[in-house]
A and B are shown apart, each in its own frame.
Chain A
Amino acid sequence: MIGIINYDSGNLSAFVNVFKSLDKKTTIINAPEELKLCSHILMPGVSAWDTTMQSVNKFKDALMTCVFNNKVPFLGVCVGMQILASTSEEGTTNGLKWIDGNVRRLPVDRSLQDEYFSGPKIPHMGWNTLDIHKQSDLLARLPENPEFYFLHSYFFDVNKKDNIVATANHIFFNFPVVIQNENIFGVQFHPEKSHINGKLLLENFSNL
């Protein structure tokens, strides 16, 4: 049973729909004690940092038991991935510190932007391709440079190269978009809104 954590932050139904189409059972987790029923844990995220962290903190102890003691596969999406960091420039609350690094605002180099014909802007919004640096079961069966839907102004500045599975490029800046530390995974994009590639990724997760 894939547990999807509900912290009033939206887009749960999109995940439920994808897993349903894959014949995978899901349950919406409203209270920490419900986590022990789960074979997989998914943390969605469409929100600002502080709003997210305040809601996540009530799940923190139960999550640590599942993820660190019982090695349950965990997938954080967008802000749900960023909260794995220590801190964020978007807010003041401390993160979970599960993967070494901090969340920073995407840099805006005006001179490069001008040369690149005004070009893409902040936030990083829309469909971008991935550069995959490391083999991961999460990305099995995906094309070489798979395309996913992004919507964010902040990125996870990961300290250890080992934790970086894939990066994306925006305005000549590369940043991690798939990260992993053993059974802990994070993706900066929205697999639940990324059609076939997103469906494959979520299926891979459910097969871990």
Chain B
Amino acid sequence: MIKMQKNCSMLRSRYIPVLLIEDGELTKTKQFEEGIYVGDPINAIRIFNEKQVDELGLFDISVTKNSAQIDFNLLKDIAVNANMPLTYGGGIKTVADASKIISLGFEKVSISAAFFESPEIVNKIAAEVGAQSVAVCLDVKKSNKDYYIFTHRGTKKEKMSLLQALQLLEKNSIGEVIINSIDRDGTFAGYDIGLAKIVRENTSVNITIIGGCKDLADIAELESQVGVCGCAAGSFYTFVGKNNAVLLNYTKPAV
């Protein structure tokens, strides 16, 4: 490993709160089961603005599963109130959907179910908005030592294996792979480091890992195992104290 000179320009990891939207309200799930209400999206945006977060992930988990429409009005209100980088995922099916979200002021769009229906959608979106703004999110569940991919809020198991999906993504124009561990979601059990390593070894684009983070030690462990990456968390940035009181908060490792 090459030592970087100190005081020299260098990229660092991104520490990313992730908010889940369901029917216009913020929710927090545990292993993708029914979530609990944790607040209003616009209020949350204002709080994370003040806390100067590195980046914010917003996922509407009800759109694809309910065959509903993307709530563009809500996304517009969110973007107008945000002065931080934003990613949106949930129900994006077409180039027009993606372009509209980018034009509202989001930096990145995250594709999931649509990629498995027709993988070339990501290239079409990239041609319009640039590959750097296209992320693919994989919701992953472990079973008998193997990892499987789910869509539709964890209800639909995809045929493609994790490795097949990563290999296919290597051939497509994307900027980021977001890996969400369904098993660790909301459990505070720490990141699935084994999963993160598999993804890091098989991907040449940026990776963001979510699921299980309970504290800064978990983040440090993730970074020590996979290098500079996106360290995302839902519950860690949503709950405080042993009784899990809802209190949006933001801490990140000291530089």
User: A-side interface residues toward B, CB under 8 Å?
Assistant: 8-14, 17-18, 46-48, 51, 79, 90, 108, 112, 115-131, 145, 149-153, 167-170, 172, 174, 190, 192-193, 195-196, 198
Which of under 10, 10 to 19, 20 to 34, or 35 or more describes the interface residues of B?
Answer: 35 or more
Contact of A120 among B132, B203, B228 (CB under 8 A): B228
Query: Is B82 in contact with A14, judged by CB distance below 8 angstroms?
Result: yes
Query: Is A48 in contact with B80, judged by CB distance below 8 angstroms?
Result: no
B130-143 CB mask vs A (1 if < 8 Å, else 0) is: 11110000000000
Query: Is A48 in contact with B129, judged by CB distance below 8 angstroms?
Result: yes
Contact of B132 among A14, A123, A168, A193 (CB under 8 A): A123
Contact A9 to B1, CB < 8 A, known contacts A14-B83, A121-B206: no
User: Which residues from chain A contact B126 at a C-beta distance below 8 Å?
Assistant: 48
User: B-side interface residues toward A, CB under 8 Å?
Assistant: 1-2, 7-14, 52, 54-55, 79-85, 102-108, 126-133, 175-176, 200-201, 203-207, 226-228, 230
User: Which residues from chain B contact A196 at a C-beta distance below 8 Å?
Assistant: 52
Query: Is B10 in contact with A169, judged by CB distance below 8 angstroms?
Result: yes
Query: Is B105 in contact with A128, judged by CB distance below 8 angstroms?
Result: no
User: Could you list some 26 contacts between A and B, CB below 8 A?
Assistant: A8-B103, A10-B105, A10-B106, A14-B79, A46-B102, A46-B107, A51-B128, A115-B2, A120-B11, A121-B206, A121-B207, A123-B176, A123-B206, A126-B13, A126-B14, A126-B55, A126-B206, A126-B230, A127-B54, A128-B10, A129-B10, A130-B9, A149-B55, A151-B133, A151-B175, A193-B84
User: Which residues from chain B contact A121 at a C-beta distance below 8 Å?
Assistant: 203-207
Contact of A18 among B83, B103, B130 (CB under 8 A): B83
Secondary structure at chain A's binding surface: helix, strand, loop or mixed? mixed
Contact A48 to B127, CB < 8 A, known contacts A125-B14, A145-B7, A169-B8: yes
Secondary structure at chain B's binding surface: helix, strand, loop or mixed? loop
Query: Is A13 in contact with B79, judged by CB distance below 8 angstroms?
Result: yes
Q: What is the CA–CA distance of A125 and B133 in the complex, to the nearest angstrom?
A: 10
User: Which residues from chain A contact B10 at a C-beta distance below 8 Å?
Assistant: 128-129, 169
User: Which residues from chain A contact B103 at a C-beta distance below 8 Å?
Assistant: 8-10
Query: Is A153 in contact with B13, judged by CB distance below 8 angstroms?
Result: no
Q: What is the CA–CA distance of A66 and B55 in the complex, to the nearest angstrom?
A: 35
Query: Is B227 in contact with A12, judged by CB distance below 8 angstroms?
Result: no
Query: Is B12 in contact with A127, judged by CB distance below 8 angstroms?
Result: yes
Contact A124 to B85, CB < 8 A, known contacts A10-B104, A13-B105, A152-B132: no
**Chain B min CB distance to A23 (Å):** 16
User: Which residues from chain A contact B81 at a C-beta distance below 8 Å?
Assistant: 17
Contact of A151 among B7, B52, B108 (CB under 8 A): B108
User: Which residues from chain A contact B12 at a C-beta distance below 8 Å?
Assistant: 126-128
Query: Is A116 in contact with B9, judged by CB distance below 8 angstroms?
Result: no
Task: Kindly report which residue of chain A lies nearest to residue B8, judged by CB atoms.
Answer: A169
Q: What is the CA–CA distance of A46 and B175 in the complex, to the nearest angstrom?
A: 14
**Chain A min CB distance to B52 (Å):** 4
Query: Is A125 in contact with B52, judged by CB distance below 8 angstroms?
Result: no
**Chain A min CB distance to B210 (Å):** 16
